[in-house]
Amino acid sequence: MKKVISTNQAPAAIGPYSQAIEVNGMVYTSGIIPVVPETGEIPEGSAAQAKQALTNLSHLLEAAGTGMEKVIKTTVFIKEMDDFGAINEVYATFFEGAFPARSCVEVARLPKDVMLEIEAIAEK
């Protein structure tokens, strides 16, 4: 049975999708963008946006009853591959021990013209 996960501590869905779905002890998030939930603002720069997106992801996982330490796989979509290093530095601070598996791809455009979007799969 699938369960819809949502929180006001992460950006609301801007389309016909759920923030996350839990099924069979696994949590699958939608893409999380670096919008400050309380204000709707988007931080300046790739490092600040990475920090906000990962903070939003962390809050969403907490709402699902799990956390960053339980993330198995992430997919990171970035607007500029030149930002890879700066994003990696921030990304590394959100995980302890073994890092999750990850894909990172450059894309032409992201919602609200943000610099990155991240999705995750975590165990409960």
Residue 71: CA count within 13 A, CB half-sphere: 28
Torsion sign over Cα 14, 85, 55, 48 = negative
Q: Which of 29, 40, 38 has the alpha carbon at shortest distance from 66? A: 29
CA-to-CA distance for 43 and 11, rounded, in angstroms? Answer: 13
Active-site amino acid positions: 104
